[in-house]
Amino acid sequence: MPKKNDAVEVAQEYTFNVAEPQIVKPQDLPLVVTPGEGKEWANEAQAEFARTVNAYAYKNPKKWAKKKDALLSKLSALATDPDLINALRGAEDENTRLSYSNKLMES
Question: 11-18 — which CB contacts under 8 Å span 24+ positions?
Answer: none
Radius of gyration of the chain (CA): 23
Residue 74 near residue 88 (C-beta atoms within 8 A): yes
Mean pLDDT of 69-76: 93
Q: With a cut of 50, say whether residue 1 has pLDDT above it.
A: no
Mean pLDDT of 65-75: 93
DSSP state letters, 20-82: -HHHHS-S-PPPSS-PPTT---SSHHHHHHHHHHHHHHHH-HHHHHHHHHHHHHHHHHTTT-T
Mean pLDDT of 3-15: 56
Residue 72's pLDDT band, with cuts at 50, 70 and 90, is very high
